[in-house]
Amino acid sequence: MSSVTFTWRPSSCMPNPPSSVCGISAFSSNYSSASRVTFSRNGFFPSYKSMIYAKSVGSDRKSSTSEQTSQQIVEVSSSGDKSSTSFLSFLCPLLKLFSAGDPSQERNDAFEVALSSLSSLVRFPWGSKSLSNGLSIEQIGVDPPIPLQLFEFEACPFCRRVREAMTELDLSAEVYPCPKGSVRHRQIVRNYGGREQFPFLIDPNTGVSMYESDEIVNYLFLQYGKGRRPSVGLLESTVFTGWMPTILRAGRGMTFWEKATQEPPPKKLELFSYENNPYARIVREALCELELPYLLLNVGEGSARIKLLLEASGSKEVPYLIDPNTGTKVGDYKNILAYLFKAYSTATPQPG
């Protein structure tokens, strides 16, 4: 039986988390030497006895399932994402100089869409369709019982790689945006993993948490791919073209906006989207700048979720946003932007 092995090494700088941070329960930090976790292709089989227990992050579910979930912090040794994160830290202030400033104000729509469309073009064909490989919807299924939890920020090319994989696998996820200047979600990642590095995935269904985008992608396909593999070039292309949307979008979806509301809404917003859609990208950027957690409902070509989108909106067009806090349902990226900045910021509403 073939398997993939990840090594977990405890971090000496990992802070002791408080009793509760944004829904995360405290867990023991009294762990010892490195443990090895083996993922069988038939499931998840930990080869150790010691476990770290934690609740699912920010779960809205009434079920106690997430409270029973065991959480193993998995750290994969790799330097690619780390060095790129450092480069992004250098690039961030430069891009901000060329950004359009106040994201709540009126934009040049033609220019916005043109740049986002060009960003989609350079990442073609990744993140646009579900890779069914001839499997029926029943065989593929829709989602694991407890939503995956992804900590990321829209402008990060390696976070983009993971979102592209989720589109291909037709997986939804709870997304916790972690922009520069984050007031909530970066602290959660520090408490869980010991450092600020993105993307960071938590899978409450298997008890796995991990950094490193390439390892996350491999894990997702191994655990939920049912024999499918990433599309050709998905992993390899990131270092060559993954930066282009970040540069073309001038750092949109990178930095927390100071006029965003400080407290998150009681319930997560829901966004029908797929990674490479140019209009959905603009909305995800805004959600990141406002640091609003949301349920990402991927509906790439061939998605099993298209029927759900049709029932909700009467159309297959994305993006489509549902806000259970206000009962608002809205399509068209311009209308969604106007709603988000009015409902979740202290900015002065635009005239007219």
3-state helix, strand, coil in the chain (%, to 5): 35, 20, 50
- 88 and 63 share one domain: no
In a domain, 254, yes or no: yes
Return the structure tokens found at 322.
Answer: 């549902």
Range of the domain at 335: 81-343
- 39 and 180 share one domain: no
Region of 125 on the Ramachandran plot (φ > 0 left; ψ -120 to 50 alpha; else beta): alpha
Q: Is pLDDT at 63 greater than 50 in this prediction? A: no
pTM: 0.75
Question: What are the tens digits of pLDDT across the range 331-341?
Answer: 999 999 999 99
In a domain, 352, yes or no: no
- Distance of alpha carbon 236 from alpha carbon 126, whole angstroms: 12
Question: What are the tens digits of pLDDT across the range 221-279?
Answer: 999 998 888 988 888 887 778 888 888 888 799 999 999 999 999 999 999 999 999 99
- Of 11-20, 133-142, 316-325, least confident by mean pLDDT is 11-20
In a domain, 348, yes or no: no
116 Cβ contact list (under 8 Å, min separation 6): 248, 249, 278, 279, 281, 282
- 23 and 68 share one domain: yes
Mapping DSSP onto H, E and C, the string for 285-307 reads HHHHHCCCCEEEEECCECCCCHH
The CATH number that applies at residue 258 is 3.40.30.10
- 70 and 157 share one domain: no
- Distance of alpha carbon 131 from alpha carbon 140, whole angstroms: 10
In a domain, 160, yes or no: yes
- 194 and 329 share one domain: yes
Instruction: Decide which of 14, 41, 74 is a domain's last residue.
Output: 74
- 142 and 90 share one domain: yes
Among residues of the chain, what percentage have pLDDT more than 70? 67
- 181 and 297 share one domain: yes
- 203 and 314 share one domain: yes
> Residue type for 146, please?
I
Q: How many domains does the chain have?
A: 2
> Residue type for 65, please?
T
pLDDT at residue 125, as a whole number: 77
In a domain, 315, yes or no: yes
- 58 and 156 share one domain: no
- 61 and 203 share one domain: no
In a domain, 330, yes or no: yes
In a domain, 349, yes or no: no
- 205 and 253 share one domain: yes
The dihedral through the CA atoms of 340, 204, 206, 145 has a sign that is: negative
